[in-house]
């Protein structure tokens, strides 16, 4: 069966510090991968998605970046965090062939920038 | 573009019914529904593809009107376990990643 791992679960970082969140998927190959952010009490904002190694699409301009160095690994990074980067970050995956393209989410990383 | 969900919040007594609506301004290929408990990751409920199909999951069902680009989630005889925030996610005909609405917070009381 497929599983998705995301870490760390919680993170407190000072403003201006770098960020690296990692997500890996097991039990499937060539998945679509996604990073979403959820501000407190708000909806899910799509940040990045990837359909293959090295292929990253950015949905919003910001100081975050994403990379996919391996088929089942997705990394979210920042060189300098802002207070507004605080939130609940969720990695997700889906199969690439329709129609069953439901997204499966990791348990999330709660990031607090102080 | 983000789909619009309504209502933003609803409070029910156990056994009551609720309807959550989701509408989009763009042509849709599919609509997904997810439920998120506080502090947890969203969990997939169901997917509806264009063609106006209706799906069900226990006492939760949904419909998709592709002409109106709308979907509705129906919760019947609600249970305490139904509490949470419900999100619709839409997939455009260009088939990019899911775009989620702002969510509907549902609270079921005894």
Task: Read off the pLDDT of residues B56-79 as tens digits, 9 standing for 90 and up.
Answer: 667 899 988 888 899 999 999 999
Tell whether the torsion through CA atoms of A94, B95, A56 and B86 is positive or negative: negative
User: Is the pLDDT reported for residue A23 higher than 80?
Assistant: yes
- Higher-pLDDT residue of B10 and B58 is B10
A61: pLDDT strictly greater than 70 = no
pLDDT score, position B97: 81
Band of pLDDT at residue B51, cut at 50, 70 and 90: low
Query: How far from the centroid of its chain's Cα atoms is residue B29's Cα?
Result: 15
Residue B93's pLDDT band (cuts 50, 70, 90): confident
Taking an 8 Å cut-off on Cβ atoms, the answer to whether A103 and B96 are in contact is: no
Q: What is the DSSP letter of B18?
A: E
Set of chain A residues whose Cβ sits within 8 Å of the Cβ of B98: 34, 46, 103
Tell me what the mean pLDDT of segment B7-26 comes to.
95
Residue A84 class from Cβ within 10 Å (0-12 exposed, 13-18 middle, 19+ buried)? exposed
């Amino acid at each position: 069966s497929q599983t998705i791992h995301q870490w760390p679960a919680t993170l407190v970082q000072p403003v201006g510090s770098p960020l690296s969140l990692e997500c890996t998927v097991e039990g499937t190959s060539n998945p679509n991968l996604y990073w979403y952010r959820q501000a407190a009490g708000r909806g899910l904002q799509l940040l990045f998605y990837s359909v293959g190694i090295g292929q990253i699409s950015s949905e919003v301009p910001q100081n975050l970046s994403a990379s996919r160095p391996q088929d089942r690994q997705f990394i979210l990074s920042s060189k300098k965090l802002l207070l507004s980067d605080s939130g609940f970050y969720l990695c997700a995956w889906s199969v690439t062939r329709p129609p069953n393209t439901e997204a499966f989410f990791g348990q999330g990383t709660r990031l607090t920038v102080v | 573009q983000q789909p619009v969900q309504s209502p933003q919040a609803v409070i029910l007594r156990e056994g009551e019914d609720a309807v959550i609506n989701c509408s989009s301004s763009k042509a849709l290929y599919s609509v997904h529904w997810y439920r998120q408990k506080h502090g947890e990751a969203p969990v997939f409920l169901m997917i509806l593809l264009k063609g106006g199909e209706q799906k069900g999951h226990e006492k939760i069902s949904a419909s998709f009107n592709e002409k109106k680009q709308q979907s509705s989630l129906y919760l019947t005889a609600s249970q305490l376990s139904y509490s949470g925030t419900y999100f619709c996610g839409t997939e455009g005909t260009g088939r990019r990643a899911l775009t989620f609405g702002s969510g509907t917070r549902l609270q079921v009381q005894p």
